């Protein structure tokens, strides 16, 4: 009986943990979709599809795909692409860098230098390292911080409304 109770407790804990993690990626996907409403890409980036890239594995790719299917940024249809490594990344309007690639973030920034790509991360300290937007947990809620300089350096324009929604902006 003790074994059964312990198994039920562990299953509940792991189930809640998986649900919370899944819920976090759903919020992040929703935030990323909404970022496209408050950031303006140059007209030179308005041809073809609007590409949201995900570097690394995780449920955020499927969450983004589910959320953006049939949706547009302006006249561009949104497409979500997952990349297994840095060399596979093609042009993206927005690139989410999974934590497993954070130690290679400098290389990623170099690859996208001068390109109109919004870099999004989810690890503390990444806006100081050049991410345009970084997800953080603030008072138990999913929020984000903004590096205005990095966004503008990428040739993008950020709305003051998005800056007002951020927990921190520099």
The pLDDT score that the predictor gives to residue 170 is 84
Domain parsing of the chain, residue ranges: 24-169
Q: CATH homologous superfamily for 24-169? A: Response regulator (3.40.50.2300)
Q: Which two tokens stand for residue 48?
A: 């073809």
C-alpha span between 30 and 66 (Å, rounded): 10
- 109-126 pLDDT, tens digit each: 999 999 999 999 999 999
Q: Which DSSP string do the residues of 27-52 spell out, in sequence order?
A: HHHHHHHHHHHHEE--GGG-SS-EEE
Contact call for residues 16 and 139 (beta carbons, < 8 A): no
- 74-90 pLDDT, tens digit each: 999 999 999 999 999 98
Quick one: average pLDDT of 40-68? 95
Paired with 54 in beta bridges are 82, 96
- What mean pLDDT value characterizes the chain? 88
């Amino acid at each position: 009986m003790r074994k059964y109770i312990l198994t039920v407790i562990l299953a509940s804990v792991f189930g809640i943990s998986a649900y919370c993690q899944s819920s976090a990626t759903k919020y992040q996907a929703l935030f990323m979709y909404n970022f496209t409403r408050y950031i303006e890409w140059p007209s030179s980036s308005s041809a073809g599809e609007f590409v949201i890239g995900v570097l690394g594995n995780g449920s955020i790719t499927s969450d983004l795909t589910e959320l953006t299917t049939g949706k547009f940024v302006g006249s561009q249809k949104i497409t979500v692409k997952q990349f297994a490594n840095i060399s596979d990344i093609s042009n993206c309007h927005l690139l989410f860098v999974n934590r497993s690639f954070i130690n290679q973030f400098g290389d990623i920034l170099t690859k996208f230098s001068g390109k109109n790509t919004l870099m999004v991360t989810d690890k503390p300290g990444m806006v100081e390292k050049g991410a345009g937007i970084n997800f953080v947990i603030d008072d138990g809620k999913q929020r984000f911080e903004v590096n205005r300089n990095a966004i503008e350096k990428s040739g993008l324009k950020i709305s003051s409304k998005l800056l007002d929604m951020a927990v921190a902006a520099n």
